[in-house]
Amino acid sequence: MYKKLSKKFFLLIIVGLLLQTTATTAATSKYNQSVWKSIKKNLRLQRVTRKPQVKAYIKHYQQDPYHIRVLGKRAAPYLYFIKQQVIARKMPAELVFLPMIESAYQPFAESKVGAIGLWQINAVTGEHFGITTDEWTDNRRDITIATNTALNYLAYLHKKYDDDWLLALAAYNAGPRTVNRAIARNRDLGKKTDYWSLDLPQQTKQFVPKLLAISHIMTHYKKLKITVPHIANQPYFVAVNLNKQIHLQLAADAADMQVTELQHLNPSIKQLVTHPTGPHKLLIPVTQANNFLSKIQNVLKQYKSTWYNYKILPGDSLIKITKNHSQTIALIKNVNNIKGNLIIAGKTILIPHTS
C-beta of residue 5 within 8 angstroms of C-beta of residue 297: yes
Cα separation, 262 vs 283, in Å, equals: 8
Compute, in degrees rounded to 10, the torsion defined by CA atoms 332, 333, 337, 341: 140
Catalytic residue among 102, 110, 135, 261: 102
Residues with Cβ < 8 Å from 338, sequence gap 6 or more? 318, 332, 349
> In angstroms, rounded to a whole number, what is the distance separating the alpha carbons of residues 253 and 272?
13
φ, ψ at 241 (rounded to 5°): -105, 115
Phi-psi region of 238 (alpha: psi -120 to 50; beta: other; left: phi over 0): beta
Residue 22 to residue 15: CA distance in whole angstroms: 6
Known catalytic residue: 261?
A: no
User: To 10 degrees, the CA torsion angle through 128, 132, 137, 143?
Assistant: -60
Q: Annotate 7-56 with DSSP letters as a single string.
A: TTTEEEEESSTTTS-S---TTSHHHHSBHHHHHHTT---GGGGGSHHHHH
**CA atoms of 296 and 302, how far apart (whole Å):** 10
Displacement of CA 118 from its chain's centroid (Å): 5
8 A C-beta contact, residue 169 and residue 208: yes
Q: Are 113 and 85 in contact (CB under 8 A)?
A: no
Q: With H, G, I as helix, E, B as strand and everything else as coil, classify residue 205.
A: helix
Evaluate the omega torsion of the peptide bond into residue 279 and state whether it is cis, within 30 degrees of 0.
yes
Q: How many CB atoms lie within 10 A of CB 270?
A: 14
Please, what is the end-to-end C-alpha distance for the chain in angstroms? 30
Q: Which residues are catalytic?
A: 102
